[in-house]
A and B are shown apart, each in its own frame.
Chain A
Amino acid sequence: MQPTPQDVILETRDLNMRFGGLLAVSDFSAVFPRGSITGLIGPNGAGKTTCFNMITGFYKPTSGQVVFHGEEVQGRPPHALCRAGIARTFQNIRLFNNETVLENVMIGRHLRQKTNWLQTLVFTPASRREEKEIRARCMELLDVVGLADLAGEKAASLPYGAQRRLEIARALATEPSFLLLDEPAAGMNPQESEDLMGFVRTIREAFGLTILLIEHDMKVVMGVCEHLWVLDYGQTIASGPPEAIRSDPKVITAYLGEEQPHA
């Protein structure tokens, strides 16, 4: 069943990214239906993170388009795309280490804040009310990811799995409609990745999200994704539902010598 244009929240058209002589991503064309959970997989260095960086504005594509809510957005700066509703996490965790867990999430709210700091100088009622609201809303988000008890801790002091969840909470605070997760299960133990799958589905429902995730853990990929795109050396070598991908000979070859997809 082909999705109708209204159902597509984000679409990439022939995205290319060249670094000097290396074509890191070539002609990446993908559609992401509203409310779907899609996986982007492939061996190391396949160009997955590079795709994320193009969609979120960190890299300006060498050519091609990113169409978000029917509008071409490629080449816009990351903060503008975040404002438009695209949020992400990072493969190598990037928290604000000297800030508390709560402050990390509050920074994500800043974008939707109406009062500014000059108003806090004179304690205007509006700014006090909004600051209270932000705190309350961020505590709720921490509750969703199970970090409410650690709200006052420095972000750097959290264990690894908790840091990953904090990154997600922080991304949710920006009120995205499209969320990109770069290897959310990396470094998690089997129990944690099991929980992560449920968690990804939960936030999709609760926040009305469309999710794109990169993941090496095939159990997570097969368990949670409804559709997969497979990259190898920057080329899209396959796309389809997980069951079809699992038995696709091209995908199996790509992974041979790398790691066998163990499902």
Chain B
Amino acid sequence: MRRGRTILLNVLAIGILGLLLSLAEAYCNGYQTQILNLIAINIILALSLNLIYGFTGLFSLGHAGFMAIGAYVCSILIMTPDQKDMLFLLQPAYDWVQNAQAPFFAAVLAGGAVAAIFGAIVGIPLLRLGDDYLGIATLGFAEIIRVVANNIPRLTNGALGFKGIPAYADLWWNFGWALVTLYVIVRLLQSNTGNVLKAIRDNEIAAKAMGVDVFRYKLLSFTVGSFFAGIGGALLASLLTTIDPKMFLFTLTFNVLMIVVAGGLGSLTGSVLAGIGITVLLEWLRVVENPVNLLGFSLPGIPGMRMVVFSLALIVIILFRREGLMGMRELTWRSLAGVFSREKA
């Protein structure tokens, strides 16, 4: 019965989300819609990094690299050959790049798949490293992807990047993929395989003694995480319609990391809530980068100020609430019901 009720509530929640999205579609202006779209994509990215870092304990800083792979693969597949003709000004695209085409859904999936393949390829050597080295090595990987993107003009159009990528990624696609991501990661973590991942995070030596092939499960988590990072990157490319190597700097990984830490390492609902909160906050903080007039004093806009405020916020979180918003707890229907019944009592 419990299980039936949970499924019913989940279906209901998805229905309400659908309703809200159609309302948003009808009444939100372009800017507001953009923020909603970014929320969905940030949730995808945060969930995938939380799987890797929060649930498996792998301190990876390579998310921007996997996003770049997803973004480029998807963009190449959804731009028409004519578009690519116009775009590759410096050098013509490789024939297979020129002719490759796929519908949006398949293109996003391909973006995720290629990112996952790269995840596995770099994971095989890197996941044998200790924790600190893993962070540095994955950071290096993301940087290599960026440099490669800059230097293979016939594949990526070099520093110019892509413009006019078809804007297919609307609210429905983005939130649809966010739900898929949530579903897959929740099911993975609820299965006994999820217990194994958490065991590796908690005590790797004990996990080995329990017969866990630690390397294999780290690779699984890293590959699934890379897959969804690629999906997020693919959607982002189609949402923003332009990409170039500069977009995939470390700050992009940092944003995602911020969401994961703020929401709670090891809490999926934390990532969802922080994904919403921090995306809104980041937009709202744009104010501090514009010139403002405060009671007759005019303050000049300082570019980059947003990230300063942002970084300070991260430091404050680490100092005063290291476990983030949710710690390792999850918001479930049952815990929600508990809150309401307690309030009534």
A residues with CB within 8 A of B: 56, 58, 77-79, 82-83, 87-88, 90, 94-99, 103, 106-111, 113, 116-117, 120-121, 127, 131, 134, 170-171, 173-174
Contacts and interface: CB of A to CB of B under 8 A. Distances in A.
B211 A131 contact: no
A91 to B, nearest CB: 12
Nearest to B183: A121
Interface stretch (B171-179, B200-208, B291-299): B200-208
Nearest to A127: B191
B195 A106 contact: yes
B203 A94 contact: yes
Q: Which 6 A-B pairs have the closest CB atoms?
A: A82-B211, A111-B211, A94-B206, A117-B193, A96-B202, A78-B208
A89 B212 CA distance: 15
Interface of B: 183-184, 187-188, 190-196, 198-199, 201-203, 205-214, 266, 328
A79 B266 CA distance: 25
Given A95-B206, A107-B199, A79 B211 contact: yes
A107 B192 contact: yes
Contact of B206 (A90, A109, A116): A90
A58 B205 contact: yes
B193 A82 contact: no
Contacts of A131: 191-192
Contacts of B199: 96, 99, 107
Contact of A110 (B187, B202, B209, B211): B211
B192 A106 contact: yes
Contacts of B202: 95-99
Contact of A117 (B187, B205, B209, B266): B187
A79 B195 contact: no
B207 A107 contact: yes
A138 to B, nearest CB: 10
A83 B211 CA distance: 6
A15 to B, nearest CB: 19
B210 A117 contact: no
Contacts of A110: 192-193, 195-196, 210-212
A120 B203 contact: no
Nearest to B212: A79
A174 B205 contact: no
Given A116-B193, A117-B193, A117-B194, A95 B211 contact: no
Contacts of B328: 98
Most buried by B among A95, A120, A170: A120
16 contacts: A58-B208, A78-B208, A78-B209, A78-B211, A90-B205, A90-B206, A98-B198, A106-B192, A107-B199, A108-B211, A110-B193, A110-B195, A110-B196, A111-B211, A111-B212, A171-B209
Contacts of A99: 195, 198-199, 202
A134 B196 CA distance: 14
Contacts of A107: 192, 195-196, 199, 207, 210, 212
B54 to A, nearest CB: 11
A113 B203 contact: no
Nearest to B202: A96
A79 B183 CA distance: 30
A120 B190 contact: yes
A79 B214 contact: yes
A151 B180 CA distance: 31
A75 to B, nearest CB: 14
A82 B206 CA distance: 11
Contact of A109 (B187, B192, B213): B192
A120 B191 contact: yes
Contacts of A87: 209
A244 B213 CA distance: 42
A103 B195 contact: yes
